[in-house]
Amino acid sequence: MKKETTRRVAALALALCVCLGCCTPAVAENAQTDSAVYGNDIGPFETWEDAWNSMYDRTQRILEENKPETTTLSNGVTVQRTPDDGRAFNNRIYNADNRGCFACHEDLNTLVMGIEFSSIGNISFFEHFELSNPYGIDYDIGMCVDCHEGSTSRPIADIIHAYHGSDNRAFSSMGGDCWSCHISRDGEMKLWDEQKHRVLSGITNVRSDILEGEITYTQDVITGDVFTLGWITAETDRERVLSHYVEDMTPDPLTDGVYDSWTIDISGAVDTPTVFTLSELMEKCEIVTTTMTYACYLNPIGGGLIANPQITGIRLKDVFDLVGVHEDATVYWPYDAKKTNLKPNFIDHLDEFGAYIVFEINGEPLTYEEGYPVQLWVGGTTAHNCKKKLDQIVITTDDPQSVGYLPALDNLCPAAAITHFKEGQIISSEEPYTFEGYVFGYEYPVTTIEISFDKGATWMVTELPQEEIDPSQWVYWYFEWMPPAPGTYTIMVRSTDIRGNSTPNPISYLINAR
């Protein structure tokens, strides 16, 4: 009887908190009052026991009806994106299950592929490129912001507001409003998905000084797929995509004679300007197979527009030795036949990062979409500075500061990601779980891998010995973690590069240990 009385007294205290509202005021922009939903059944009662029973039952009803939703995704992973907090705060006050992109959409990767951008108001857009990736990374709104705010395209807010209806008609039809996507924080309207881990109750923080485990890393993880972005904005892109997707053409360099007919013209600040066939270069230079990271210029923080495959080709430095590059040469300009998307590269990067005239990826000839028969891969930069269907390189003595070189964007690097994990994923609390991901610094090699389980307040840091790290490849990391107890946690990852810059706005994932 004593235990039962104690339990009901505790429930009464909780009920009083629920009923009297001992919580952060003005946090739910569209929350209903408890009395409207559950009725005002606080009294009068004949005995205290009747009051306790009534309050306890009411509390249990509130907890049950506001229990966070658990969902099994199409890939079989079970997630709960709203933490259990023991007092129904997150759903009763914040309405958390019904906020953010994932309240309506399981997978933004697939969603954007079905959007006809050209039909949204007066926004003129091509079809969105493929976001699916081999790393199990789900894109979220923060990644959309990273890409769109870093490019010359329309801000993501314009697109989303236009698509959902700028007058909230799309949200209204589903019982939502502006607060379905936003939250008021620090006097500003901010995105719910970018703030939720900092405002939701029931998340346990683990300081780095008591965080148990070790970050291990390797550069031997090879990816099987390489992303390609057919923007359909240039004739060469149209030709590649039509050949690849519409005409279903399969490259066959052993029979089509393309290696004998394809030429690459090397000219400019060289002793012997020469036009080589690809076959001639294969005979004169060593053919090497190596690994090199290839990352999109707009790959967002935590994004999947990155690959680390094996490439087979010819070192560009060996080709330059054949023609005798002048000592004062500084920049080389790669061209395709249409002279499109011209971006310069620095000769002094060749020694540290390397560059290759590539004709095979993971042992297979390039596809037409990848620029068959040959593509220039440049280390220490982004895919933006590489060149599909390479057919000319002009070497100059230009001032490197004046050529319009495009380095990786500071708001996107150094890159850091958690792979093969879903927001709110449920894991066992009784056995270790291994997290994994990558870090990459583009032209500024990374020096650390850092993990936080307290929303970035403290970090577990692993130093990367520079003499052991190939800067032209990503560093793939692992962290085996044993939950200290059942509950809800978060994990963040970031990296620091040789400049001392750390990953801006590192991604965060919710973890449910059960």
For residue 8, give Cα distances in angstroms to 41, 85, 89: 17, 19, 20
Q: Quote the CA–CA distance of 82 and 144 in Å, as a whole number.
A: 22
Q: Which pLDDT value is given to residue 230?
A: 58
Rg of the chain in Å (alpha carbons) = 28
Phi and psi at residue 176, in whole multiples of 5°?
-110, 180
Q: Quote the CA–CA distance of 192 and 213 in Å, as a whole number.
A: 31
Beta-carbon contacts of 48 under 8 Å, excluding residues fewer than 6 positions away, are none
DSSP 389: T
What is the C-alpha end-to-end distance of the chain, expressed in Å?
Answer: 30
Number of C-beta neighbours around residue 230 at 10 A: 19
| Both tokens assigned to 489 | 């946690």
Q: Which pLDDT value is given to residue 474?
A: 98
| Both tokens assigned to 389 | 């269907």
Q: What is the pLDDT along the chain (514 residues), one digit of tens a residue?
A: 444 444 444 444 544 444 433 333 333 444 444 444 444 455 576 787 877 787 778 888 888 899 999 999 988 999 999 999 988 899 999 999 999 999 988 888 888 876 655 444 443 445 677 788 999 999 999 999 888 876 655 678 887 887 787 666 767 777 778 888 999 988 889 999 999 999 999 999 999 999 999 999 999 999 988 887 755 445 555 566 666 555 566 788 888 889 999 999 999 999 999 999 999 999 999 999 999 999 999 899 999 999 999 999 999 999 999 999 999 999 999 998 777 767 899 999 999 999 999 999 999 999 888 888 999 999 999 998 999 999 999 999 999 999 989 889 999 999 999 999 999 999 999 999 999 999 999 999 999 999 999 999 999 999 999 999 999 999 999 999 999 999 999 999 999 999 999 999 999 999 999 9
DSSP string, 460-503: EEEE--GGG--TTS-EEEEEEE--SSSEEEEEEEEEEETTS-B-
For residue 311, give Cα distances in angstroms to 72, 191, 222, 468: 38, 40, 11, 21
pLDDT in tens, 430-473: 999 999 999 999 999 999 999 999 999 999 999 999 999 999 99
DSSP 305: -
pLDDT in tens, 102-155: 998 888 888 887 665 544 444 344 567 778 899 999 999 999 988 887 665 567
Sign of CA dihedral 19, 24, 26, 30: negative
Q: Which pLDDT value is given to residue 382?
A: 94
This prediction has a pTM of: 0.86
**Which stretches of 114-210 are DSSP H helices?**
141-149, 156-164, 169-173, 192-199
Q: Quote the CA–CA distance of 506 and 301 in Å, as a whole number.
A: 7
